[in-house]
Amino acid sequence: MNVIELKNIVKTYPGVEALKGISFAVEKGSIHGFLGPNGAGKTTSMNIIAGLSSPTSGQVLVDGKELDKGKVPIGFLPETPPLYGQMKVAEYLKFVAEINDLPKKLVRDRVFEIGKRCGLSKVMERLIGNLSKGYRQRVGIAQSLVFDPKIVILDEPTVGLDPNSIIEIRELITSLKKDHTIMFSTHQLHEANLICSHITIINKGQILKSGPINEIRKSLKNRQVVKAVVRDWKIIEPDVVLGEIRDLFPCERVEIESTEGQTELKFIAATEEDLRPSVGAYLMKKDCGLLSFREEGMDLEDIFKKVAGP
């Protein structure tokens, strides 16, 4: 069952067509990643779903009904969190809960419950304006959850957070799946790859791919990714490697990443031919101290590069 449906959404500004008739759906109970480069149309789409902006044409359905601009049953963290710096954290979350009609008898407990879940317990009585950027981002996430919406939309939820906080927010988002449908945009493909069940990829105002990650992988099944780790690699330019192997076996892209003491090479090809024998023979000929060698399924970054291009 789909809880969000966009049907042929167009959004134009003077001289700019930001969204070019996009259509996609978000399935109930999913964690849905919305991926694309800057300027692709992610924030515009999310603002339309949340009822903060109207499409030029097209239709948005929430729970099968036309989106009610007056009362949106969606928790939303916009790109810039809507915070009041002169309010204390607990006071602000109470305010957000009340204006979204959470029953008064539930407000106090819900405020402190969601404050704890978002890692805000130690700052609940502090002014928002005195908090670090990371804590302000947490408050923004908390306000999207405090009135217990069925649908939660998060625009870049991990911006400004340190690595430990990113792990905590990832765990929080995963835990929300039991009671909420989550849609979030991100530039961190690694994060999306870890927690998303579904993705939509947008670029230049057009949807390139949308659906369960596993089904998208299957639709690109003729793509191979062979990864090798070597000890001694003197050629560090991918274009040089591509030139060497062009007449030996098909390969459209080589990615090389060197760390202390070893180098990882990723050979990516659009072919059903098993590349492992050819790649293995090439590496043995280079006498580069092969440490490990395996074929991998496409990760989210490979999928994104395939469908979005440069």
In a domain, 209, yes or no: yes
In a domain, 160, yes or no: yes
Structural domain includes residue 177:
yes
Which token pair is 32?
């849905």
Whether residue 116 is found in the same domain as residue 165? no
| 267 Cβ contact partners less than 8 Å away, ≥ 6 residues apart | 224, 225, 226, 227, 228, 245, 251, 253, 254, 275, 279
Task: List the CATH number of the domain containing 247.
Answer: 3.30.70.260
State whether 294 and 225 are in the same domain: yes
The pLDDT value given to residue 11: 96
- Asked whether residue 233 falls in the same domain as residue 190, the answer is no
Q: Domain with 214 in it: what CATH number? A: 3.40.50.300
| Domain carrying residue 102 | 84-147
User: Looking at 170, 192, 218, which one is the last position of a domain?
Assistant: 218
Write down which residue in 99, 114, 147 finishes a domain. 147
Residue 30 confidence (pLDDT) = 93
State whether 211 and 226 are in the same domain.
no
Within this chain, do residues 232 and 303 fall inside the same structural domain, yes or no? yes
Q: Are residues 159 and 213 in the same domain?
A: yes
Three-class DSSP category at 126: coil
89 and 156 in a single domain? The answer is: no
b/e sequence 203-219, b meaning 16+ C-beta within 10 Å: bebebbbbeebeebbee
Domain-located, residue 78? no
Residue in the block written with tokens 């991100």: 186
DSSP-assigned letters across all residues of 14-45 = TTEEEEEEEEEEEETT-EEEEE--TTSSHHHH
Model confidence, pTM = 0.73
Q: Are 231 and 281 part of one and the same domain?
A: yes
Considering the domain architecture, whether residues 59 and 106 belong to the same structural domain is answered as no
pLDDT, tens digit only, all 310 positions of the chain: 899 999 999 999 998 999 999 999 999 999 999 998 888 899 999 999 988 899 999 999 988 888 665 565 799 999 888 899 999 999 999 999 999 999 999 999 999 999 998 989 999 999 999 998 889 989 999 999 999 999 999 998 887 778 887 888 888 888 888 889 999 998 777 778 888 999 999 989 999 989 998 888 777 666 678 888 888 887 768 888 888 888 888 888 888 888 777 888 888 887 777 788 888 888 888 888 888 888 776 667 767 776 776 5
Q: Residue 146 has what pLDDT?
A: 94
Q: At what angle do helices 89-99 and 104-117 cross, to 10 degrees?
A: 130
Give the end of a domain, one of 218, 233, 257: 218
DSSP secondary structure of 171-231 = HHHHHHTTT-EEEEEES-HHHHHHH-SEEEEEETTEEEEEEEHHHHHHHTTTEEEEEEEES
Number of domains into which the chain is organized: 3
236 and 212 in a common domain? no
> Within a domain: residue 79?
no
Residues 140 and 154 in one domain: no
200 and 210 Cβ atoms separated by less than 8 Å: yes
In a shared domain, residues 164 and 58: yes
